[in-house]
Amino acid sequence: MSDEQIYPWLQDQWDKLIAQRAQGRLPHALLLSGAPGVGKAAFANALAHLLLCHEPLDGKPCGQCRSCELIASGHHPDRLYLHPEEAGKAIRVDQVREVTTVLHSTAQQGGYRVMIMEPAEAMNVSSANALLKTLEEPGQDTLLILVCHQLGQLMPTIRSRCQRIDFRPPGTEEGERWLASKLELTAEDASRLLAIAQGAPLAAVELNGGELLELRRTFLTGLADLLRDRVSPITLAEKLHKSELIHLLDWWLSLLNDIARLQSGAADAAISNVDMSKMLAAVAKRADKVRIFALVDRVQEERKSLMLRHNPNRQLLVEKLLFDWRALIR
């Protein structure tokens, strides 16, 4: 959770922010926006640490002061985290109130107070409203860092009150080189893994862990079998609905993007899911464009409701989408 570093492909964003700070123009709220797995959270942690350190040296925390010690221990009273209590759930209004109350009191260690919220799009309407007041009047030496993977799902009133920094994955070559060296992979394996992770190096590292790759395999094989009538949507949904649905929905979106790309007719359309190129080509050939985009919308809608609805019926959610997927080529 507290990975704290500036990945090489984010150095520019970091340098700009540090320059801004040197000029005394650091805003009260930052919105770090970009796909999962590009290093936003590590960036937020590094920034929090730098601001909380009492005697930074050359733009780096000293590692010696009381504040640095507290951070090393994992509990700094002026560094506050706001996450959903359960992965994939909403950030509740009482969680927001608890944190903003602390933010409005005096800093325990003197100096900055930093709140890191991730993912910011997990706020429901009441949580977002509760945060608005603090965004408008944050108080002295307070920084709110909102980490957001899906900018479109964040309320515009929240967005407009933050300075936004966009995070992009590294260029393909840089990403592959980094990944190959990090995981000690061949260039070819690194390239394949990075493509599946849509270019996000940390997502690729997580995928390489094993279980997720296995889940992805089960999911994709299931989708292919569904198209060939080897399995029914109900049976497949039964098998899948207890897994981490957010991953499933993200992979699904990635597949649909690939299909849309293939349909756009670009001769050398680069797809992410290289290992599924056969299935993707078959769907691209037979499916109607309008239906592809309609399914993209539905998957996005379900992704959102999965987070914000109280108790979604997961089996039904997956089942409905699987029926739609099968219907693409009928």
Residues at the site binding Zn ion, with contacts judged by CB under 5 A: 53, 61-62, 65, 68
Peptide bond into 84 cis (omega under 30): no
| Residue 51 beta carbon to Zn ion: minimum distance, rounded to whole angstroms | 11
Q: Which lies closer to Zn ion via its Cβ, residue 62 or residue 270?
A: 62
Q: Which lies closer to Zn ion via its Cβ, residue 28 or residue 49?
A: 49
The CA distances from residue 302 to 203, 258, 313, in Å, are 22, 20, 11
| Residue 61 beta carbon to Zn ion: minimum distance, rounded to whole angstroms | 5
Q: Which lies closer to Zn ion via its Cβ, residue 36 or residue 61?
A: 61
| Residue 115 beta carbon to Zn ion: minimum distance, rounded to whole angstroms | 19
| Residue 10 beta carbon to Zn ion: minimum distance, rounded to whole angstroms | 22
| Residue 54 beta carbon to Zn ion: minimum distance, rounded to whole angstroms | 5
| Residue 74 beta carbon to Zn ion: minimum distance, rounded to whole angstroms | 15
| Residue 309 beta carbon to Zn ion: minimum distance, rounded to whole angstroms | 43
Q: Which lies closer to Zn ion via its Cβ, residue 56 or residue 312?
A: 56
Distance of alpha carbon 49 from alpha carbon 24, whole angstroms: 18
Q: Which lies closer to Zn ion via its Cβ, residue 57 or residue 294?
A: 57
Q: Which lies closer to Zn ion via its Cβ, residue 62 or residue 125?
A: 62
Q: Which lies closer to Zn ion via its Cβ, residue 61 or residue 138?
A: 61
